[in-house]
Chain A
Amino acid sequence: MNGPGIAWYLALAAFLFATGMLGVLLRRSPLIVLLSLELMLNGANLALIAFARQAGNLDGQIFALAVMAVAAAEVVVGLGLIVAMARKKLTLDVDKLSFLRG
C-alpha cells in the first residue's frame, strides 16, 4: 500500500473518537451533542475501513455501511426528539432536562 501505514489511520480515528467524546461530555446543547455523536461514529467508521484494507477483507466496509445506515436512523430519531422538545417550549439544555431523575 502506498502512503502511510494502517497505524496512522487508526491513530487519526482514535483522535476523531476522542474529540467527539469530548463534545458529547462537555456541550450543553443537544444539537451539538448529536453532531459530536456523529463525529464519534465516523471515527469508528474510519477504523473499520482501515482494518478492512489491512486484512484484505470486505467485511469491514460492509460493517461501515451498516453503521452509516444506523447513524442515519439515529439522527432521525434524535432530531425528532429535539424538535418535539422545542415544540413543547423546553429549554434545549441537557443539564436542565432531568425529568428522569431517580
Chain B
Amino acid sequence: MTLSGWITLFAPLVGAVLITLGGSRIGRRTAGYIATASTMIAFVAAVVAFVIALGKSPDSRSQLSTAYTWIQAGSYQSGFSILIDQLSLLMMLIVTGVGSLIIAYSLGYMEGEDEERRYFAYMALFVFSMLLLVEGGNLILLLAGWGMVGLSSYLLIGFYHRRASAVAAAKKAFVMNAVGDATMAIAFFLLIKYTGSLSFSVLGQPAGNHWVLNVVALGLLGGAVAKSAQLPLQTWLPDAMEGPTPVSALIHAATMVTAGVYLIVRCNAAFEAAPHVQNLAAVLGALTLLMAGLIALVQVDIKRVIAYSTMSQIGYMFLGAGIGAYADAIFHLMMHAFFKATLFLAAGILIHALSGEQDIRKMGGLRKLMPFTFLAFLAGGLALAGIPPFSGFFSKDPIIASALARGGWFGDMLWVAGLAGALLTGIYTFRLIFRVFLGEPSAFVREHLHTEHGEGPISMRWTVAVLAVLATVAGFIQFPPFWEPVSNWLEPVAPPLVTPTNAQEIGTLLIGVTLGALGILIAWLIYGSHRFKAPKPSEILEEKFFFDELYDAAFYRPAVWLAKTLRRGFEEPVIDGSIAEVVVGTRDAARWTARLQTGLLRTYVFAIAASLAVLLVVFVAVR
C-alpha cells in the first residue's frame, strides 16, 4: 500500500521534471500529455492504495513508510516519510482525480498559449506539492509541501507574467501565505522545544502546558487561515483569479485552499487540546462564509463570484472542523471539489468562447447558444445551493446540523449563520446563472461568441462532463443520518466531537433545502423574470468590506515609508558614504604616497644612504 503511496507522490514530480528537462525540444501538446499522464498514473496508484486499504481492518489502515533520515540536528531527527491512512487516502484521491481531469481540460483551454509547456510543468509541480502536503508523514514534510504549494500558486497566478495585475496578484498571494507560514513556523519551533519532535504524535503535547498548547494551535490556525483564504487573510483569493481558469479551478477551489481544512483535521489533537483556538476556527469560518456570501452578491466578474463562493464554502468546512465534525468537513471538501471544479471549468468554456470576456453584465441569453455549458453550470450551481439530489445537499447541511448538536448559545449562533449562508448561496449562485444564461443574447454575445467548432474543444467538454456527473451523483456516498461510510472510514483518524441526533439532522436538512430553494426563487424574481429590480449594492459590499484598503494603510504604507526613510537616512549617508569614503581615501593616500616617486636617481640613492646611516646607529646601539 505504501508503495502505491510513493508512486502517487512522485509520478507528478517525474512529469514536471521531464517537461522541464525537455524544454523546447518537446512539443507543446507533448508537455500537456506528459502532465496529464503523470497525474493519471498518480490517480491510479491512489486508487490501488485505496482498494488495498479497503481490504484491511480499520486498525491497520494507517501506515507510515520512511525512505531515509532526512534531517538530523542534535537530538532532533526527521525522516522522509509518507503516512498513508484513511484521511490521506481520501485527499490523494481528490487531488489526483480532480487534478488529472483539470490538467486534461487544460490541454484544450491552454492550447496556443505562449509558454504552454511552462504551464504544464507548473501544474505537475503543484500536484506533487499538494500530494507531499497530504501524504507527508511528519509536520516538516507537511510544511515542505505547504511551502511548495504556495510557490506553485505564485507561479501559476503570475503565469501571464506580462500583465502587471497578474504579477501583483501573485505577489499578494505569496506574501499573505507567508504570514501563515510564519505562524506555522512559530508553532513548530515551540513543538520542537517542548517535545523534541515534529511527528504527528506530538500534537496535543506537552499536556497541561496551556500557554504552549494555545500558541501552537494558534500558529497552525494562522497557517490554515492564510492558505484557505479565511478572515482575516482572505484578500488574496479574489485577486488570484488573474491566473488561467484551470488554475483557479484546481488550486483555488478544489485543492490548495482546502489544505487549511486538511491541516486542522490532521492536527485535530492539537486543536482539541486548545479548545478556545478551535472555537476561534469555527467563528472565523462562520464570519467568512457570511461575509463572502454577501460580497458575492455584487460581483460582476464571473470568476470572482465563484471565488467568493469558494471562500464561503471553505468557511463551512472551517466551521465544521472548528466544532469537531471532521468527517463532515472532509466530505464537504470532496463534494465541493467536484461541483466547484465543474463551475470553474464550465465558466472557462464560456470565457474561451467569448474570447476572454469575464464581465457578466456583457453576457446574457447563452442558454440556447451553449446548452452543454448551461447544463454543467446548472449541475454545479444546484449542488452548490444544496438542492437534492445534487452532491452539495448531502455534504453541507450535516455541518450545520453538527453546529446545532454542539449546543449552547455558541452552537446555536453557528447554526443560524450556516443557514443564513445557505440562503445567500442560493441567491448569488443563481443570480450568476440567470444573468449569464437566461434572457436574450446580449449585443456583446452576438458579436463575439464563436461556437463554430462546438462549444469548446473536446478535451474541455469531456472533463467538464465527468465533473458535472460527479457533482450530481457523488453525494450519494454519504447521507447522514442514514448511511455514513465516509464518517466511519475516517473515524479512527479523526473521531468527531459532536454527533447530531436524527431529529437535528433531518430538521436542519429540511430547513437548509428550503432556504436554498428560497434563495433561488429570490434570484429568479430579480434576475430571471425581472419582477423586481435589483437593489443598489451598498458601497461596503462593493469594496469588499474595505479589507484591501485597511491592509494597505496598516501594513503596506508603513512598510514603504520605513524603507524609504532607511534609504534616505541610513543607507545613503552611512553605507554608501563609507564605501565612497574608502574609495576616496585610498585614492588620496595613493596620490600622496606617489609623490615619493620622483624618478630622480639621486633622491633614491639619498634615501638609501640616509636609512643606512640610521640603521647603523640602531644596530650599534641595540647590538
Do A and B touch, yes or no (CB under 8 Å, in the complex)? yes
Q: Which residues of A contact B598 (CB under 8 A)?
A: 98, 101
Chain B residues with Cβ below 8 Å from A102 are: 594, 596-597, 599
Mask: chain B, 589-623; 1 = CB below 8 Å from A; 0 = not: 00000101111111001100100000000000000
Interface of B is mostly: helix
B contact residues, range = 10 to 19
A24 within 8 A of B: yes
- Asked if B597 and A21 sit within 8 Å, CB to CB, the answer is no
Kindly list chain B residues whose C-beta atoms are within 8 Å of the C-beta of A97.
599, 601
Contacts of B609 in A (CB 8 A): 21, 25
Task: With A21-B609, A25-B609 as known contacts, state yes or no: A99 contacts B602, CB within 8 Å.
Answer: no
Minimum CB distance partner of B610 in chain A: A25
**Interface pair A24/B594, CB less than 8 Å apart:** no
Is residue A79 within 8 Å, beta carbon to beta carbon, of the partner chain? Answer: no
User: Which of B594, B597, B601 is in CB contact (< 8 Å) with A33?
Assistant: B601
> Are B600 and A94 interface neighbours, CB within 8 A?
yes
Contact with B along A36-71 (1 / 0, CB 8 A): 000000000000000000000000000000000000
Let me know if B597 and A100 touch, CB within 8 A: yes
B599 and A25 contacting across the interface, CB-CB below 8 Å: no
Give CA–CA (A25, B609) in the complex, Å: 9
Q: Label chain A's interface by main secondary structure.
A: loop
Whether B602 and A25, one on each chain, are in contact in the complex, defined by CB atoms closer than 8 angstroms, is yes
B605 surroundings in chain A (CB, below 8 A): 24-25
Least CB distance from B477 to A in Å reads 90
Q: Are A95 and B597 in contact (CB under 8 A)?
A: no
CA distance A24 to B600 in the complex (A): 12
Chain A residue numbers with a CB within 8 Å of B594 are: 102
Cα(A101)–Cα(B597), bound, Å: 5
Could you tell me the distance between the alpha carbons of A24 and B604 in the complex, rounded to whole angstroms?
Answer: 11
Which residues of B sit under 8 angstroms from A98, Cβ to Cβ?
A: 598-600
A30 to B599, CA, bound (A): 15
Distance in angstroms between the alpha carbons of A98 and B599 in the assembled complex? 4
B597 touches A94 (CB 8 A): no
CA–CA, A98 to B594, complex, Å? Answer: 14
Does A95 contact B606, Cβ atoms closer than 8 Å? no
Q: How far is the CB of B546 from chain A (nearest CB, A)?
A: 70
Q: How long is the Cα–Cα vector from A13 to B47 in the complex, in angstroms? A: 107
CB closest residue in chain A, given B593 = A102
Chain B residues near A33 (CB, 8 Å)? 601
Report Cα–Cα, A9/B42, bound state, in Å. Answer: 103
Residue of B nearest to A27 (CB): B602
Q: Would B606 and A99 count as touching, CB distance under 8 A? A: no
Within 8 A of A (CB), among B110-156: none
Closest partner residue, chain B, to A33 (CB atom) = B601
B589 to chain A, nearest CB (A): 14
In the bound complex, how far is the Cα of B603 from the Cα of A101, in angstroms? 11
**In the complex, what residues of B have CB within 8 A of residue A100's CB?**
597, 599
In the complex, what residues of A have CB within 8 A of residue B597's CB?
100-102
Contact with B along A56-91 (1 / 0, CB 8 A): 000000000000000000000000000000000000
Contacts of B602 in A (CB 8 A): 25, 94-95
Q: Which residue in chain B gives the minimum CB-CB distance to A18?
A: B609
Q: Which residues of B contact A24 (CB under 8 A)?
A: 605
Bound complex: CA A2 to CA B330 (Å): 121
Are B606 and A101 interface neighbours, CB within 8 A? no
- In chain B, positions 327-383 with a C-beta closer than 8 Å to chain A are none
CB of B600 within 8 A of CB of A25, answer no
Please give, as numbers and ranges, the residues of chain A lying within 8 Å of B599 by CB-CB distance: 97-102
Identify the closest chain B residue to A100 (Cβ). B599
- The 7 A-B pairs at the shortest CB distance, nearest first, are namely A102-B597, A101-B599, A98-B599, A94-B601, A102-B594, A100-B599, A98-B600
Q: Give B residues with C-beta under 8 Å from A.
A: 594, 596-602, 605-606, 609
Sample (28) of A-B pairs whose CB atoms are under 8 Å apart: A21-B609, A24-B605, A25-B602, A25-B605, A25-B606, A25-B609, A33-B601, A94-B600, A94-B601, A94-B602, A95-B600, A95-B602, A97-B599, A97-B601, A98-B598, A98-B599, A98-B600, A99-B599, A100-B597, A100-B599, A101-B597, A101-B598, A101-B599, A101-B600, A102-B594, A102-B596, A102-B597, A102-B599
| Known contacts A94-B602, A98-B598, A98-B599; 19 further A-B pairs (Cβ under 8 A) | A21-B609, A24-B605, A25-B605, A25-B606, A25-B609, A94-B600, A94-B601, A95-B600, A95-B602, A97-B599, A97-B601, A98-B600, A99-B599, A100-B599, A101-B597, A101-B600, A102-B594, A102-B597, A102-B599
